[in-house]
Structure formats: C-alpha cells, structure tokens
Amino acid sequence: MAYGKKNMNPQILKLREDVGSVDKNLIRILEKRFEITNKIGEIKNVNGIPIEDLKREEEIINFQQKLTKISPEFVKKLFKLIFEESKKSQLK
C-alpha cells in the first residue's frame, strides 16, 4: 500500500530529505572527480602515457576499502565503475 507524504512519518520524511541532499553532493563530487581525471587524461594523451594503470586502480581500491565500514566488495564495484567511466571520457 502506497502512502502519500501527508501520511508519512515526519522523521522518515526528514531522513529522506537528508538522503536526497547527500545524493546531490555525491553527484557533484563525481562530476568534480571526472573533471580532474579528464585533465589527467589530456596530459597523458599529450605525453604518450597509457590511460589505464591497473596497479594504481588496485592501490586506490585497497586504500578506500580500509577507510570505511562499507562492504569491501561494494567499494570495489563502485570504484571499478568510476574507473571505467573515467577511462571512457579520457579516451574521447
């Protein structure tokens, strides 16, 4: 059964607003990350440096997994997706 907002618990509504705010910030942070990695890609392309650096990617994943209580497998999947998108935009 679906409930409208007027029937929703106020605490849940507030928490959902908070989640929405975090989601907006996540997108902004990812946009900034892609801007930076695109600049790195430009420098690599000009200097003939390969875009992909699998050793560095694994180092980043391992480091990030140690910083959080989030599932290590989730962190790995997330960063693999981020790396994949970064490489796509760097190869354009």
Quick: pLDDT tens for 18-32: 999 999 999 999 999
Angle at 39 between CA 35 and CA 40, to 5 degrees: 115
Any residues with CB less than 8 A from the CB of 51 and at least 6 apart, and which? 41, 44, 45, 87, 90, 91
DSSP letter for each residue of 33-52: HHHHHHHHHHHHHHHT--S-
**Cα(79)–Cα(3) distance, rounded to whole angstroms?**
36
pLDDT tens-place string over residues 37-91:
999 999 999 999 999 999 999 999 999 999 999 999 999 999 999 999 999 988 8
| Domain presence at residue 21 | yes
Q: What was the pLDDT predicted at 8?
A: 81
Task: Report pTM.
Answer: 0.82
Domain assignment of residue 38, yes or no:
yes
Segments forming the whole domain that contains residue 18: 9-90
Query: How many structural domains is the chain composed of?
Result: 1
Domain-embedded: residue 16? yes
